[in-house]
Chains A and B, each alone.
Chain A
Amino acid sequence: MAIQSDTKPLLEVKNLRIEFPTRRGVLTAVDDISFDIMPGEVLGVVGESGAGKSLTGAAVIGLLEPPGRIAAGSISLEGQRIDNLPYEKMRQIRGRKIGAIFQDPLTSLNPLYSIGRQLVETIQTHTDMSESQARRRAVELLADVGIPAPERRVDQYPHQFSGGMRQRVVIALALAVNPKLVIADEPTTALDVSIQAQILDLIRKLCKERNVGVIIITHDMGVIAETADRVAVMYAGRIAEIGPVRDVIKHAKHPYTHGLMGSIPTIGHDTEKLTQIDGSMPRLTDIPRGCAFNPRCPKAFDKCFVDRPELIQVEQTRAACWLYEKEAVHG
């Protein structure tokens, strides 16, 4: 779907910083990140564990767990700030305007209630439908997410569904009251590969049909390649590179993205040795000065150890890397 440049972004995140106060000082888990999402757009957020991708999602949906807190920046949905709303106000937006899909479908569903009851409750909380209308809507939703015999299945309990079917129910819950934005945090990590493809297709199809913006948070580049329009690659709490999926995957600009792509084995490419990024991501307590990637970067030079790079436009993508500083100045 082509995104018109004159439409206003659905979600705008500006200079977001998330901090955790600890006894040994304040840890900055997400540091000054900005991105936006257009209606109907799928943004992938990818990174290794500890990169801050899930925290970013949690902040957007207002479910950041204390002591974590938004220390700076703003999050706006349809032009309205949502990062500083009181709890009750945010609870209405969550569910009504923002839906969520989490990794483990078994923990997202209440085992004691039939899925019909959970759907009806969600629908009635956010709309003024009657019980029977809500139930009809629940059956429709189950049919939309591809559950066979929805009239019968609606009265069953979560344990009577397989993993893939449960995740479909969670998707139905997330889309129950036509939200504008869906946040999917590792939606297929707990599923088998053959089911994973079905679920990703479903999320993408339903959201495109309904013009819902989606943030897919994952560690798996394959998931991003399959579903996202744009991708943000996170490293040590910052966005290392952001741009259209094709450009980031095929022509990665940031040395981290480049190394990450090379470290994924691909079928049909015979290599004895995978590209290896030595070391691992720094802990929050000792993020190096300058570019956080500098100890692992094969191309690091003087400046990288001193100053922190901001995102610079490089061809189709933007990368936070000093290698491209000159191009930006002259081009």
Chain B
Amino acid sequence: MADAALKQPAATGTEPVLKAHDLARYFDVSPPFLNRVIEGAPRQILKAVDGVSFEIQKGRTFSLVGESGCGKSTVARLVVGLYTPTRGALQFEGQNIAGLTRKQMVPIRRKMQMIFQDPYASLNPRWRVVDIIAEPLRFFDLTSGEAATQKRVGELLSFVGLSPKDGLKYPHEFSGGQRQRISIARALATRPRFLICDEPTSALDVSVQAQILNLMKELQRELGLTYLFISHNLAVVYHMSDDVGVMYLGKLVEVAPARTLFVKPRHPYTKLLLDTIPDLDMKGEERAPVAGEVPNPINPPSGCTFHPRCPFANDRCRAEIPQPIAMPDGAKVACHGVEEGRIPA
């Protein structure tokens, strides 16, 4: 299913496609003004993302994993400009995109597109599929004339494994997997270089998930796409990613190449997450029971926010916020215990 027209020029240099430095987004979740005055309630700030730095190289897949509330979707929304960052820098293809106005973002949006989790909510039920996919083409004025638009929509549909005739149907006539294919076709319409995929398969059944993951990998190979992939499913992340960042309460606790992270996790939280993966090989290994839950992000614990659940925590962990430290094999870990060498590898 080669499509020469969709192909990108080959990679030049090693300039990262996306570079985030100390990215942060806070939300004000204070009670209303009157309550604050009468009850003396304090202002409350939710630090959804608090100082996250990472780079994504061209043609690679960078994944963010973590439990609900860790801020992974907020990062996705910051990257596409749905939120403005409270702090930090964000560079796309060398250009700063943090805090751009909607108008300034328009040319950038053409180059980066998003695939959402819920294929039932992300397609307009009143539009025919052909119009859904043609919308970005019309908005950016990418085709000359209606005939060309129709032709291009047909190409896109066959490209994601649907029939051009399907364009005349409405979204409700498709299954979840087919709808996700439509979302992908829409995202590809503007010939983007970078796709942000927020839990693209978590609403799908496993056999359909496999179809979509295979399609995404195939598209990446053929079009040289770069992915920011967000998921809570570690097995899916392992399958899709080149590099992985593990988030906990708004911070990246460990960033490493996927093969390194899954073979040799360093941060105690990464180890905990890997321990929770059900053992489909049925080796019968007893897993260490995992205690505790993610604390309330409005009042995160002091120091390293993971310390209440960490078996290796000491006084330093309770007081001092750990900074990411680079390891010889390319991993970055924010943990005092790893730094001091008191956590067994």
Given A49-B205, A194-B67, A274-B239, answer yes or no on A162-B293 (Cβ-Cβ < 8 Å): yes
Q: Is the CB of B293 within 8 A of A265?
A: no
Note all chain A residues with C-beta closer than 8 A to B278. Answer: 197, 220-223, 225-226
Residue of B nearest to A226 (CB): B278
Note all chain A residues with C-beta closer than 8 A to B175. Answer: 280
- What is the CB-to-nearest-CB distance from B132 to chain A, in angstroms, rounded to a whole number? 20
Within 8 A of B (CB), among A219-248: 219-223, 225-226, 245-246
Residue of B nearest to A165 (CB): B293
Q: How many residues in B have their beta carbons less than 8 Å from beta carbons of A?
A: 40
Let me know if B77 is at the binding interface, CB within 8 A.
no
Within 8 A of A (CB), among B169-214: 175-178, 205-211, 213-214
Let me know if B279 is at the binding interface, CB within 8 A.
yes
Bitwise, B152-179 to A at CB < 8 A (1) or not (0) is 0000000000000000000000011110
Q: Is the CB of A48 within 8 A of B234?
A: no
Within 8 A of B (CB), among A50-95: none
Q: Is the CB of B289 within 8 A of A268?
A: no
> Which residue of A201, A268, A274 is within 8 Å of B213 (Cβ)?
A274
Residue of A nearest to B234 (CB): A267
- What is the CB-to-nearest-CB distance from B224 to chain A, in angstroms, rounded to a whole number? 16
Which of B22-30, B53-61, B114-122, B280-288 makes up part of the contact surface? B280-288
Given A193-B276, A225-B280, A225-B282, answer yes or no on A266-B235 (Cβ-Cβ < 8 Å): yes
Q: Is the CB of B294 within 8 A of A192?
A: yes
Residue of A nearest to B278 (CB): A222
CA–CA, A241 to B239, complex, Å?
27
Let me know if A133 is at the binding interface, CB within 8 A.
no
Q: Is the CB of A219 within 8 A of B211?
A: no
> Which residue of A249, A278, A281 is within 8 Å of B280 (Cβ)?
A249
- What is the CB-to-nearest-CB distance from A172 to chain B, in angstroms, rounded to a whole number? 17
Within 8 A of B (CB), among A262-286: 262-268, 271-278, 280-281
Q: Is the CB of A48 within 8 A of B206?
A: yes
Residue of B nearest to A268 (CB): B262
- What is the CB-to-nearest-CB distance from A161 to chain B, in angstroms, rounded to a whole number? 10
B interface SS class: helix
Note all chain B residues with C-beta closer than 8 A to A277. Answer: 207, 210-211
Given A193-B273, A197-B290, answer yes or no on A222-B280 (Cβ-Cβ < 8 Å): yes
Q: Is the CB of A267 within 8 A of B235?
A: yes
Q: Is the CB of B206 within 8 A of A219?
A: yes
> Which residue of B217, B280, B294 is within 8 Å of A273 (Cβ)?
B217
Note all chain A residues with C-beta closer than 8 A to B280. Answer: 221-222, 225, 249, 261, 264, 266
- What is the CB-to-nearest-CB distance from B17 to chain A, in angstroms, rounded to a whole number? 22
Q: How many residues in A have their beta carbons less than 8 Å from beta carbons of B?
A: 44
- What is the CB-to-nearest-CB distance from A269 to chain B, in angstroms, rounded to a whole number? 9
CA–CA, A276 to B207, complex, Å?
7
Q: Is the CB of B206 within 8 A of A263?
A: yes
Q: Is the CB of B282 within 8 A of A250?
A: yes
Residue of A nearest to B288 (CB): A197
Residue of A nearest to B178 (CB): A280
Within 8 A of A (CB), among B285-343: 287, 289-291, 293-294
Let me know if B87 is at the binding interface, CB within 8 A.
no
Given A48-B207, A164-B293, A280-B175, answer yes or no on A194-B279 (Cβ-Cβ < 8 Å): no
Let me know if A259 is at the binding interface, CB within 8 A.
yes
Q: Is the CB of B273 within 8 A of A219?
A: no
Note all chain B residues with C-beta closer than 8 A to A264. Answer: 206, 210, 235, 280
Q: Is the CB of A246 within 8 A of B282?
A: yes
Q: Is the CB of A192 within 8 A of B235?
A: no
Tally A-B pairs: CB < 8 A.
116
> Which residue of B208, B217, B290 is within 8 Å of A198 (Cβ)?
B290
Q: Is the CB of B235 within 8 A of A194?
A: no
Let me know if B41 is at the binding interface, CB within 8 A.
no
Note all chain A residues with C-beta closer than 8 A to B235. Answer: 264-267
CA–CA, A72 to B213, complex, Å?
40
Q: Is the CB of B207 within 8 A of A263?
A: yes
Let me know if A15 is at the binding interface, CB within 8 A.
no
- What is the CB-to-nearest-CB distance from B274 to chain A, in angstroms, rounded to a whole number? 8
- What is the CB-to-nearest-CB distance from B197 to chain A, in angstroms, rounded to a whole number? 15
Within 8 A of B (CB), among A196-220: 196-198, 201, 219-220
Q: Is the CB of B262 within 8 A of A263?
A: no
> Which residue of A193, A225, A274 is within 8 Å of B214 (Cβ)?
A274
Residue of A nearest to B238 (CB): A267
- What is the CB-to-nearest-CB distance from B87 to chain A, in angstroms, rounded to a whole number? 27
Let me know if B89 is at the binding interface, CB within 8 A.
no
Let me know if B142 is at the binding interface, CB within 8 A.
no
CA–CA, A276 to B236, complex, Å?
14
Let me know if B138 is at the binding interface, CB within 8 A.
no
Note all chain B residues with C-beta closer than 8 A to A261. Answer: 280
Q: Is the CB of A193 within 8 A of B234?
A: yes
Residue of A nearest to B279 (CB): A225
Q: Is the CB of B290 within 8 A of A260?
A: no
Note all chain A residues with C-beta closer than 8 A to B272. Answer: 194
> Which residue of B211, B239, B275 is within 8 Å of A271 (Cβ)?
B239
Residue of A nearest to B203 (CB): A49
Which among B205, B209, B262 has the highest number of chain A CB atoms within 10 Å?
B205
10 contacts across the A-B interface (CB closer than 8 A):
A192-B67, A194-B276, A198-B291, A225-B280, A260-B206, A263-B210, A264-B206, A265-B239, A272-B217, A274-B210
Mark B residues whose CB is within 8 Å of A.
67-68, 175-178, 205-211, 213-214, 217, 232, 234-236, 238-239, 262, 272-282, 287, 289-291, 293-294
Mark A residues whose CB is within 8 Å of B.
48-49, 162, 164-165, 192-198, 201, 219-223, 225-226, 245-246, 249-250, 259-268, 271-278, 280-281
**Known A193-B234, A261-B280, A264-B235; 13 more pairs at CB < 8 Å:** A48-B207, A193-B273, A194-B273, A221-B278, A225-B279, A249-B280, A264-B210, A265-B235, A267-B234, A267-B274, A273-B214, A276-B211, A281-B205
